[in-house]
Structure 1
Amino acid sequence: MKKNTQKKAAYMWDLMIPLLLMICILPLLVHLAVYRCGYSQYDWYAADDLLPDFYCYYKSYFIDIVAAFALIILAFRMGLYKEDTKQIRWFYPLFVYVLFVMLSTIFSMNQTASVHGNFESFESVFVLIGYVVLAFYAYQMMEHEKDYQIILYGVMGISGVFGIVGLFQVFHCDLMQFAWVQKLLMSAEEYETYGGMIEDTFSGNNVYLSLYNPNYAGIVLCMLFAVLFVMALTETQKKRKICYTVIAGLMMFLIWYTYSRASLLALIVVIVLAGAFLKPIRKKKKLWLLPLLLFAAGAFFIVIDVAGGSKYLSRMIDTNDREPLSSMTTEKNGIFLCYDGTDYRIWAENEQLYCRNLTTEDELYADMGEELSLPMEDDAKAVYIQEEQPEILLYLAETTLTFIRKDGTYYYKNFAGKISSMSDVKAADLHGLEYLGSARGYIWSRTIPLLKSHLLIGSGPDTFAELFPQEDYAGKIVYADSPDVVIEKAHNDYLTKWVQTGGISVLCILIFYVILLRMGKKKFYLADMDSMQMRLGLGCYLACISYMLANLFNDSTVQTSPLFWVFAGIVLSAAG
């Protein structure tokens, strides 16, 4: 009898491996991959589209492999033990979502990108389907207390590793800076070319862990904090309570140093909801302690930030300090721009450069080779020069732009030497709020007009950059600080999904979120936390809420989304 019990326990441990791989191994997977993004075909991108990737490429394929094994296990399990299969109706919205992901891939504007993933994302069709598989797997396989205990061990393990890595980064000693670490992430030949590129991604003491972007680190840390915070509040054994509290506190400390405002907001929501959901806190009438604790923690971190140069506080409130350049177009008879509400025309004629105020008809000019001071700004200027062909160099809004005339029409010449037309693009009117959210408002204003064309089927996974109006050089000068930057995401998961996989797919995701929220509230609100299933379930529930909230300002990524989908499956399993 004892032997059979041991076999059963070992079997259950095996079933948890796919989930543990997503929680513990995937976040740490960093290795160099060199690929071609295929954007060289566009005027707005350089001729050389060979790019290095450390953080997404191999994570993407790792998700594919683990999800495939999970699907095989599910098929055997549901085929052999039909009586143990849980009801699947909660996942109907996700099954419809998968259908539209597949349809969007079939009709994708770039099937190669949609099938294999592309450009700083690598969320291919297989990755998106893999997320659903992982959530369904967690839902079906989580059955016993030991299953939840094993997952908690995984959460604590990755939290401990991230805690160590994050502390090194806080104190300006990022492990990725060391040559011996970088040599583990690439071949000797690759190190000669790409060595040193990792630590140059971010400067200062931003915590990004092994996830590339501090925003992604903030989301993951917030989800881990939610689980550990609930465990700390509900634990009765003193030593364990101290352990959970210390690790949760470390996660909160590192969240601060991601300098991510979305993660900070999600953190506050998690703390407040934990106090509202837990019966012991409500029963002992200690809910009033939460605002006090938040205030004390806020005061503590503010003191730390001020001592460190107010790096965080300086980003807390967005101010509209953008240049008042609202449009710039290239046409046959010149370069037309609107600056601070005034329209101007700049053109070259008979070896002279002209600038005309189209409202007052005032006109300035300079001979070829002479600098022409422009009326838009004190330091605005232009010069008409003769290189291989005549060029107009325009310095405006702290940016130098090069223009040429070809076949009787003016064109913008980008950093890679390609010529491109500047034209007005469709944009939603945000009433001057485009600068909000580190100029996320600008990206949203250019994304919203794309939605009506993708109500049913999207442009395909990982094709956002190709659909976004990259020729909006004036907008990128003002809000992205460079006309040549590539906008690869909407910085809002729901907008990105709508564009890439269609409006119906977003509706399906939102329906699933509502199901998740309602089931979680019904099961965990003021319930007795007398089992690991209930405690971990509530922690994962709050983690999912933090992810949904943070993704109003961030996108789904291979760094953050696998943890969410695993937690979503755990919540439904615990609440079912």
Structure 2
Amino acid sequence: MYLLEKIEDNLKKKSLGFFLPITFILTIIPLIVRLKLVKLDDAGIDLYAEASKGDFFSQYKAIWLAIFSVILIIIALSSFKKLFKKRDKTTTAILICTGIFLICTFLSAMLSQHKEVAFFGFYDRAEGFITIACYMIIFLYSIYAFKSTHCYKYMIIPILIVILINSFLGIFQYIGNDLINSKLGIALVVPSKYKIGEQGLGLLYEKGKLYGTLYHYNYVGSFVGLVLPILFSLTIFEKKVLNKVILGVFSLLSVWLLFGSTSRAGIIGILVAIILGLIIFGKVIFKSWKPLVITLACVAILAIGGNVATKGQLFQRVPSLVSDIFSVFNNTSSVDYRAETPISDIKHVDKDIEITVPKDILKISFENGIYVFRNSNNETVQYDMVDGVYKTNNENFKNISFRFGKSSKSSTKADFFMLQVNNNPTFMFKLKTDNSIHLRDANGTKYIDVEYPETFGFKGKEKLGSARGYIWSRSIPIMKETLLLGNGPDTFAYIFPQNDLMGKYYAYGNPNMIVDKPHNLYMQIALNDGVIALIAFLGIMLIYIIDSIKLYALKKEYNESQILGGITCLGIVGYLFAGMFNDSVISVAPMFWIILGVGVSLNYLNKKRNQIN
């Protein structure tokens, strides 16, 4: 008996030795916040009119992830026979899909028009091919390094650390006193070579939202969608009282992160994970339902109490989630978004411009050294200067005013002007040397024409999901060009029709927004890496989820390994459904790929154990 226990302890120590690097990745990567100036490529400069941009949440995460990935490769090569052992058909199928996904991503990067970004990533995302390759390395390593359920707690402990730190930072961010933007925070996250003004970093989102160290409150939702189903399920199944209390506390902290972030994507992910949890563990749950009801009641009481204490801020975006769900079923096919904006079109006609407003058209020309304004009947519209702003009393154009100026010191006339809507600067124009007037981009650096791209679906629903309907309706048609290979990882900002000014105006209330992400994990893969890469990705997920349901669904009783396998699947599903509204981001994605790897390994271990029994 003693000999068997000693052998088992040795096996645990060996398996833990392989898994510890994964523990460090889980702990360190999500918590890194450090300023790095990123030099933009030509397309980036064209987009932002800046040579470099500051990045706090992605670049150093990517660098350290790459370092850890190299370490994992060294460990794998030096311990090849011990680490890698033959796996079953399911694992082999997942490995094949992983290979296809990685190959398609690599070819998309190689053939991209924006190779630098495709390999190293966009400035505030850093999810180029190198980072994606690191995801695959940690995914594969996790499959093979997780050799015993003993390792599971070394995956949970880092998650608890990340939750604790983000919950602490989140409290101050939620009340509008971001510690990252404090003197101590700036000293920690800003290298001494950079000078920060008195106003601080400008990181703070609006009061009533938290983002912790995960870059954006939306990605806190993805994080919670991944970890809360696991922690909550562990709380239910844990038998030791102390462990149950600790897991319960951290489950509640995760709930705080969910509602404090106001992420509706996270809520959807959690709801789907709950439904799947009832399917998988239904027989066991309904057999001993009292602990579950008590736990849910505690969560509900604390959540409602927190909402009352914050005067409704905690649940402020939940009603909009419900209204968005119902609005999906409304018939809006006859809605013309251009009729809903203060300006519905800007055309260049010969040397003049024509600005279409709801009741008329404002024509602007430059004649005999002055700007002349006319309506659709070619009648003069009188504009007079009031406090440096040109305004009119004409009812059709009363909300439109202008500011004129010189574009440079050498200019001999007012060759530059800004169109304001309700006193808000909205469109920029430049007078060319031939006295023709042309629209400029928001940065005033290049001439542009208003674009009306091909759309698919979401007509009249462009504002759905904080303008996700708008982004998706313009992104889906682009997929026709990425059936085999994508435009390159992290290049979405360069392929999106940024000159769709009127569409942006309707969706965001601002035509000068830069749309840099699709807000959809699957669309992100299809456009950046190609539809084949998306199919391979979905193949990995479906193989794993179906395998998990077959193994764990509706059993009368579970051993520890089966419980861990089932709850890991719930976390993966929570993340994937949150991914319908969020992108992959380096603050959360490494954790997802590691947990997925552990889930694949647990399924293999459970099948192997069933065969032995």
Q: CA deviation at 1:26?
A: 0.6
Instruction: Describe how 1:79-478 pairs up with structure 2 within 5 A.
Output: 79=81, 83=85, 87-190=91-194, 192-193=195-196, 197-198=200-201, 200-278=203-281, 279-284=283-288, 289=293, 293=297, 299-300=304-305, 302-308=307-313, 311-312=316-317, 315-316=320-321, 317=323, 323=341, 325-340=343-358, 345-350=363-368, 351-357=370-376, 361=377, 363-366=379-382, 370-373=390-393, 378-382=398-402, 388=411, 389=413, 390-396=415-421, 398-406=424-432, 407=434, 409-429=436-456, 430-478=458-506
Q: CA deviation at 1:41?
A: 6.8
Name the CA shift for 1:117/1:386 in 2 (closer, same or farther; >3 Å).
closer
Conserved 8 A contact 1:330-1:409? no
In structure 1, the partner of 2:595 is 567
Q: CA deviation at 1:526?
A: 2.5
- Aligned AA for 1:57? Q
Structure 2 CA distance for aligned equivalents of residues 330 and 301 of structure 1? 54
Structure 2 CA distance for aligned equivalents of residues 313 and 3 of structure 1? 53
Name the CA shift for 1:342/1:142 in 2 (closer, same or farther; >3 Å).
farther
- Provide, for residues 496-555 of structure 1, a one-character-per-residue CA deviation record: whole Å limited to 9, x for no partner: 211111111111111212112101211222236644433332222111111111111111
In the alignment, structure 1 residue 543 sits paired with structure 2 residue 543: no
In structure 1, the partner of 2:54 is 52
In structure 2, the partner of 1:513 is 541
Q: CA deviation at 1:559?
A: 0.9
The correspondence for 2:550, drawn from 522, 545, 559, is 522
Secondary structure of the 1:420 match is coil
- More moved, 308-317 vs 469-478: 308-317
- Provide, for residues 401-458 of structure 1, a one-character-per-residue CA deviation record: whole Å limited to 9, x for no partner: 2212324643223453313212223131522111111111111222122111111111
Conserved 8 A contact 1:272-1:290? no
Structure 1 CA distance for aligned equivalents of residues 445 and 130 of structure 2? 34
Conserved 8 A contact 1:427-1:447? no
Structure 2 CA distance for aligned equivalents of residues 56 and 40 of structure 1? 20
Structure 2 CA distance for aligned equivalents of residues 551 and 274 of structure 1? 19
Conserved 8 A contact 1:167-1:254? no
- Aligned AA for 2:244? K
Q: CA deviation at 1:400?
A: 3.3
- Provide, for residues 109-129 of structure 1, a one-character-per-residue CA deviation record: whole Å limited to 9, x for no partner: 111111221221100101112
Structure 1 CA distance for aligned equivalents of residues 313 and 575 of structure 2? 28
Conserved 8 A contact 1:399-1:482? no
In the superposition, the TM-score normalised over structure 1's length comes to: 0.89
Conserved 8 A contact 2:426-2:512? no
- Provide, for residues 49-90 of structure 1, a one-character-per-residue CA deviation record: whole Å limited to 9, x for no partner: 211111000111222222232234334444456655554222
Q: CA deviation at 1:102?
A: 0.7
Structure 2 CA distance for aligned equivalents of residues 284 and 377 of structure 1? 69
Structure 1 CA distance for aligned equivalents of residues 438 and 291 of structure 2? 63
Structure 1 CA distance for aligned equivalents of residues 186 and 15 of structure 2? 37
Structure 2 CA distance for aligned equivalents of residues 155 and 310 of structure 1? 25
- More moved, 423-432 vs 76-85: 76-85
Structure 2 CA distance for aligned equivalents of residues 103 and 93 of structure 1? 15
Name the CA shift for 1:439/1:307 in 2 (closer, same or farther; >3 Å).
closer
Structure 2 CA distance for aligned equivalents of residues 344 and 365 of structure 1? 8
- More moved, 517-526 vs 106-115: 517-526
- Aligned AA for 1:240? N
Conserved 8 A contact 1:327-1:424? no
Structure 1 CA distance for aligned equivalents of residues 488 and 597 of structure 2? 26
Q: CA deviation at 1:315?
A: 4.6
Secondary structure of the 2:381 match is strand
- More moved, 471-480 vs 99-108: 471-480
Gaps of 5+ in 2: 328-336, 605-613
- Aligned AA for 2:453? K
Name the CA shift for 1:311/1:305 in 2 (closer, same or farther; >3 Å).
farther
Name the CA shift for 1:379/1:160 in 2 (closer, same or farther; >3 Å).
same
Aligned residues: percent identity?
Answer: 22
Secondary structure of the 2:311 match is helix
The correspondence for 2:585, drawn from 530, 554, 557, is 557
Gaps of 5+ in 1: none
What is the aligned residue count?
571
Structure 1 CA distance for aligned equivalents of residues 198 and 602 of structure 2? 46
Structure 2 CA distance for aligned equivalents of residues 34 and 292 of structure 1? 45
- Aligned AA for 1:480? Y
Name the CA shift for 1:198/1:290 in 2 (closer, same or farther; >3 Å).
farther
Structure 2 CA distance for aligned equivalents of residues 195 and 12 of structure 1? 51
Conserved 8 A contact 2:15-2:146? no
